[in-house]
A and B are shown apart, each in its own frame.
Chain A
């Protein structure tokens, strides 16, 4: 009986103390969670900061290693190098494993810490080359 009452008092005091502490909720649109350094979010294509040209050499290794085969590449040749015309990543299939980033010999494709991937249309789940380049700005 005494033990039961002690347990009750413990429970009630715990909830009372919890009530006085600060909520841990992140109020999303106003506050945002800061993902960790190694967070694997949306993809980006980096450009060379010196020349402003795309880093990608169109080796297609990323498309080859991708386990869910969600990268579609169409390449063509310019005067001195191969370039990509189409670089589509289907986010509906991507599992954000980061293998594309790891395999890339010139560190052109990277995973950013961007995590807001919600969209209104299914077609928007496919990232095109210009989206990827925009994500990669300043990286």
Chain B
């Protein structure tokens, strides 16, 4: 690798790193706006035109507030925990092809790396729950751990279907292999399993058990204030973005679309952004519609429904691949 190549890669990383917080900011704004409209409210509309600068105001507020660390807390872990949720969620973007030839890196075991990195995010939540030394936080952390174990399994099995059909683990090649038929059409069951476990993985409603403001008082981040809380939020929304980008990449043809391959560049990026924002919208829409499930229902859904379904999906994909040769 020549120094010029290295510089180019660093530049790409920098651009993505700078874009993610801004995108996350707009995501939070979109969420508050859409939830507001669903509940017949306006949502934030005071900061800037249509409240477009609200995320900036929030960021400034969070940065300038006092960072409180509870006296009984495990200080080192307490500080590290929010970083541990945010960093993995952002790191995953290194693997995602945003457009034709627009990826930071193309790893040949992309999917494995992705699963490995994204499951690291749980540690942040568990550590956060543990280090706060508060019962609500600890319960939130515990729930998060149990939820992750249950849903990572069916998510991994849903990914097996994708790998089988694409015949590769590289995300770039997976997108290429969906040129003819999107995997959402070829294996709808796999997509449903992936979607539901993806929602559970990102701790979003209706599966926001670790947070559950009703029963745990904000769960793992009860004791967090200022930027610690901000980083947790940043991590959560980055995880949503990641998950939406993954649904796009793995099941909906990534940057593919009419004339995307021929025109390349901006058009393919446009398709990617369009599909990803659709999934982000579905995440928000779901939050506005569904109530939180009970904890035993969550576990039952994970182990008794999604796991068998994902196995069934693998069987289906195996048959599909075998028949088509």
Chain A interface (Cβ within 8 Å of chain B)?
11-12, 14-16, 18-21, 23-25, 27
Shortest CB distance A52–B (Å)? 44
Q: Are A11 and B289 in contact (CB under 8 A)?
A: yes
Shortest CB distance B33–A (Å)? 10
8 residue pairs of the A-B complex, CB under 8 angstroms, read A11-B289, A11-B290, A15-B38, A19-B34, A19-B38, A23-B42, A24-B40, A25-B41
Partner of A15, one of B36, B41, B285: B285
Question: Chain A: which residue is nearest B291 at the CB level?
Answer: A11
Q: Are A12 and B285 in contact (CB under 8 A)?
A: yes
Instruction: Map CB proximity to A onto B298-319 as digits: 1 under 8 Å, 0 otherwise.
Output: 0000000000000000000000
Q: Are A27 and B42 in contact (CB under 8 A)?
A: yes
Report how far A27 CA is from B46 CA in the complex, Å: 10
Find chain B residues with CB under 8 A from A16 CB. 285
Question: Chain A: which residue is nearest B34 at the CB level?
Answer: A19
Report how far A18 CA is from B39 CA in the complex, Å: 7
Question: Chain B: which residue is nearest A21 at the CB level?
Answer: B40
> Given A11-B289, A12-B285, A23-B41, 16 other A-B contacts at CB below 8 A?
A12-B289, A15-B38, A15-B285, A15-B288, A16-B285, A18-B39, A19-B34, A19-B37, A19-B285, A19-B288, A20-B37, A23-B36, A23-B42, A24-B40, A25-B41, A27-B42
Report how far A24 CA is from B40 CA in the complex, Å: 6
Report how far A61 CA is from B286 CA in the complex, Å: 60
Report how far A89 CA is from B37 CA in the complex, Å: 42
**Residue of B34, B288, B289 with most partner-chain A CB within 10 A:** B289
User: Is chain A's binding surface mostly helix, strand, loop or mixed?
Assistant: helix
User: Is chain B's binding surface mostly helix, strand, loop or mixed?
Assistant: helix
Question: Chain A: which residue is nearest B287 at the CB level?
Answer: A15
Q: 4 closest A-B pairs (Cβ-Cβ)?
A: A15-B289, A19-B37, A15-B38, A23-B42
Shortest CB distance A2–B (Å)? 15
Find chain B residues with CB under 8 A from A18 CB. 37-40
Q: Are A25 and B42 in contact (CB under 8 A)?
A: yes
Find chain A residues with CB under 8 A from B288 CB. 15, 19
Report how far A19 CA is from B289 CA in the complex, Å: 11
Report how far A19 CA is from B37 CA in the complex, Å: 5
Question: Chain A: which residue is nearest B289 at the CB level?
Answer: A15
Question: Chain A: which residue is nearest B36 at the CB level?
Answer: A23
Shortest CB distance B41–A (Å)? 5
Find chain B residues with CB under 8 A from A11 CB. 289-290
Within 8 A of A (CB), among B269-298: 285-286, 288-290
A12-B285, A15-B285, A16-B285 as given contacts; A23 in contact with B40, CB under 8 Å: yes
Find chain B residues with CB under 8 A from A24 CB. 40
Within 8 A of A (CB), among B11-40: 34, 36-40
Question: Chain A: which residue is nearest B43 at the CB level?
Answer: A23
Partner of B37, one of A12, A14, A23: A23
Shortest CB distance B284–A (Å)? 10
**Residue of A11, A14, A16, A23 with most partner-chain B CB within 10 A:** A23
Shortest CB distance A128–B (Å)? 35
